A and B are shown apart, each in its own frame.
Chain A
């Protein structure tokens, strides 16, 4: 029950996050690329009726205004969401006041072209999704990452040793942490699933000079696979 609640919460969060993101994108696009230019055109009396040329002008001027506005926001170090909102919100309000009394005479699109455009949009989205899937699936290398770092970033009284399996299959490893000529820690039967990442924090005797991590793959004989080391002094 708790599990299903968790799933429901996650789904809800995911949906709400997606919804918020979509709403922000839908609001931001005209706010940046149309409204400022249209407001300027109207205020200068240069706007023709909302025709093709006016639409193009509004986009071109909006782009130019945003670029110049960026220069102004830079003075205040405010090239962030709040800065842009404050800069563009007046344009949005004025734009609303200008645009709201107008009755746009949107012509109804006939059914056939509407269906065809819808189908085209779906097919285009499918094409991009197919390309995305292909790009994500492409792996030119199968590999394992091994790393060894001082845990506190400097002195290495304790070290972090980590592994990341990108071999695209479950791999059995043996990991050994040696300090000078003796073993500090050993993981003889380590199995990481594909895509699994693990790390350990291991204390090291202070007198030792060098700590070395040795990784073996145990599925094709026991051969040294990766090495990393740090000086502890």
Chain B
């Protein structure tokens, strides 16, 4: 009996670790299956030819147009002061996007249908920008580029100084394309910009599809990846604005796919396409500094991952040559232009990293998410949507990361038995690199929690989403949808993609998406309205162009574009003309400033006395703004009434223009 008990105890002692080991193995196995580190279901590839490939896209196009009508109604209701307009606008985005996303997730549709669906949804999303700003530009940066484009149209030459945006003329790619279309067609800069950016936007998605298809080897994965790429916070509005990155990003994606085509050609000993790749990289270097450097980093990353993995010589040769071009051309261009990028980008990067360091050490200097400079919080439903979208992306990345590596050829199962790294390493260096690139998404999210880093985090998004889109798409194709033709499953993925897109728009545009009914102080889109434009046009018509003006931030934009005037900024000269405008008295300091800045006119907008600036600054975030802890007083702005020699030449009840040439000595 005792020996029986002893035997059972022995079995139990032996059995317990066995059971634990078994449980552990089971748990790890389940986890490995969940995250996709063990095995990969091969995604179903659709038939290539479908005789009815236009039927669904045409119906979805009608649906998208109906959604655009809803969006237009929402924009108009916002202009009329309806608080529910923003919700209606986001609903229109969902109506537009969800059917396309659902259709593209389905495995049984043809490549041609995927392409036409992608181009249609891209163009429809692009039209949302036009519905938001159908008559004139709305965003601050658009006016900076408009000034440069107008100078090219006027003089027929590049590189005319732009006091609002000193670095802009050094990167004139966007303005050149706009000038070409405007000059040949007779369109205004606004209309030419709309058409040029539409072509650029379509090129972006068209080239991205080809790039993803080449990297993943699957049209289905490429289509879904493009749809998920649209979840980048900058995709719908920021990167469609009349701003240089809107032209640079399509060139970047086209350069990526050109690099892969070049590698394909090199395998057959053909080197001619290298010239084309060099041409694209040169055009990109002329268009936008940060995107050009971004291309260099992407290519260097891909080169490293390709070199580490099991790859052929043609891929390495092509990537190596592309890296040389992508590194050398932006540097040479920047050097030729007098290195304007260091002074522009340096402080932004330094401030962002410093604030991120403080944030990580809990020093409490971070930015309050979802709050404007005035402390106004984004509505709860919008915050919840944006956070849900971010959470969805993070969960998706966790579940798809290893699947993507396995898709790239990495073998987890033979990892233990492997004798060398190359025997298990990926065979697809580009895909492996893009998989790791998706880590840039959480880094960008962290940067968004800082004041200066928000800018960097927002700009990182399009780069991060090149990886995020593909990794999530592989997760969709291998984990969730797989070979299933279920429309319900596809609709769930489509709904998730729609949530990600809407979350992206919220985190980028926030409260300033639609034009409000009432004027807002220094709010860019909320401040640019017909009366301010009318005053600027009056200046052009009655004072003539190119007078020197001092005024606040948003009137400066209007005066330099609609008014064709020269405006004073601290970017050009260190004196802050805002000090002369807001100081309560008019003394020798103000006289000296007007004299030094050689001002002809001052435009005093009394509306800025009614509130704090929405974007955080009345002028240049310099001396004048530091002096103001509250809105400036009307008396301060109107002090020129009592100054001998100052003429009050224009008055519309809100905006007054003073002629100060007698003081500056320019009369």
Which residues of A approach B to under 8 Å, CB–CB? Answer: 20-21, 24-25, 27-29, 31-33, 40-41, 44-46, 52-53, 55-57, 59-61, 63-71, 74, 77-81, 83-85, 88, 109-110, 112-114, 116-117, 119-124, 126-128, 130-136, 138-141, 143-149, 154, 160, 162, 164, 166, 225-231
Contacts and interface: CB of A to CB of B under 8 A. Distances in A.
A140 B199 CA distance: 34
Q: How large is the interface on B (under 10, 10 to 19, 20 to 34, 35 or more residues)?
A: 35 or more
Contacts of B283: 63-65, 67-68
B210 A32 contact: no
B131 A116 contact: no
A67 B651 contact: no
B643 to A, nearest CB: 11
Contacts of A63: 177, 199-200, 203, 247, 250-251, 254, 283
Contact of A28 (B185, B265, B276): B185
Given A59-B199, A113-B54, A135 B183 contact: no
18 contacts: A29-B195, A52-B210, A56-B257, A59-B202, A64-B279, A67-B283, A67-B287, A83-B156, A110-B54, A127-B69, A135-B134, A141-B519, A141-B529, A147-B542, A154-B667, A166-B530, A228-B650, A228-B651
Given A127-B71, A131-B72, A135-B515, A145 B650 contact: yes
B361 interface: no
A66 B645 CA distance: 51
Interface of B: 52, 54-55, 57-59, 61-62, 64-66, 68-69, 71-73, 75-76, 79, 115, 124, 127, 130-135, 152-153, 155-159, 172-173, 176-177, 179-181, 183-187, 195, 199-200, 202-203, 206-207, 210, 247, 250-251, 254, 257-258, 261, 265, 272-273, 275-276, 279-280, 282-284, 286-287, 515, 517-519, 529-531, 534-535, 538, 542-543, 644-645, 647-654, 659, 662, 667
A133 B180 CA distance: 29
Given A27-B185, A29-B181, A41-B276, 5 more contacts: A28-B185, A44-B273, A110-B54, A131-B75, A136-B135
Contacts of A138: 79, 515, 517, 529-530
Nearest to B526: A140
Contacts of A154: 667
Contacts of A81: 183-184, 186
A130 B265 CA distance: 49
B322 to A, nearest CB: 14
A144 B199 contact: no
Nearest to B54: A113
Contacts of A40: 276
A166 B265 CA distance: 64
Q: Which 10 A-B pairs have the closest CB atoms?
A: A70-B176, A123-B65, A134-B76, A116-B58, A64-B283, A60-B254, A113-B58, A120-B61, A127-B68, A113-B54
Nearest to B285: A67
A130 B207 CA distance: 32
B61 A79 contact: no
Given A70-B158, A124-B68, A60 B58 contact: no
B68 A227 contact: no
B650 A61 contact: no
Contact of A85 (B54, B134, B184, B273): B184
Contacts of B258: 57, 60
Contact of A31 (B52, B172, B184, B251): B184
Contact of B203 (A59, A128, A135): A59
Contacts of A27: 184-185
Given A146-B652, A231-B647, A44 B279 contact: no
A65 B202 CA distance: 18
A166 to B, nearest CB: 7
Q: Which of A31, A33, A68, A126 has the largest count of B CB atoms less than 10 A from its CB? A: A33
A158 to B, nearest CB: 15
Contacts of B72: 127-128, 130-131, 134
A145 B158 contact: no
Contacts of B75: 131, 134-135
A140 B519 contact: yes
Given A67-B176, A134-B76, A80 B662 contact: no
Given A46-B276, A138-B515, A56 B203 contact: yes
Q: Please classify the interface of chain A as helix (H, G, I), strand (E, B), loop, or mixed, using the class held by over half of its residues.
A: helix
A78 B282 contact: no
Nearest to A52: B115
A149 B200 contact: no
A133 B73 CA distance: 11
B187 A25 contact: yes
Given A56-B207, A63-B200, A77-B156, A143 B653 contact: yes
B210 A77 contact: no
A109 B127 CA distance: 25
Given A44-B272, A109-B54, A64 B649 contact: no
Nearest to A124: B65
A171 B199 CA distance: 47
Contact of A231 (B180, B261, B279, B662): B662
Contacts of B55: 110, 112-113
A86 to B, nearest CB: 11
Contacts of B199: 29, 33, 59, 63
B186 A24 contact: yes
A84 B515 contact: no
Nearest to B57: A113
A32 B180 contact: yes
A67 B183 contact: no
Contact of B282 (A68, A123, A166): A68
Contacts of B202: 59
Given A70-B158, A119-B65, A144-B653, A131 B131 contact: yes
Nearest to A53: B210
A11 to B, nearest CB: 20
A52 B518 CA distance: 47
A57 B211 CA distance: 12
Contacts of B157: 74, 77, 79
A60 B251 contact: yes
Contacts of B127: 124, 127-128
Contacts of B254: 56, 60, 63-64
B248 to A, nearest CB: 10
A140 B529 contact: yes
Given A63-B177, A68-B282, A147-B650, A166 B64 contact: no
A145 B54 contact: no
A141 B69 CA distance: 27
A59 B649 CA distance: 51
A56 B519 contact: no
A226 B279 contact: no
Contacts of B184: 24, 27-28, 31-32, 81, 84-85, 88
Nearest to B59: A116
B203 A143 contact: no
Contacts of B186: 20-21, 24-25, 81
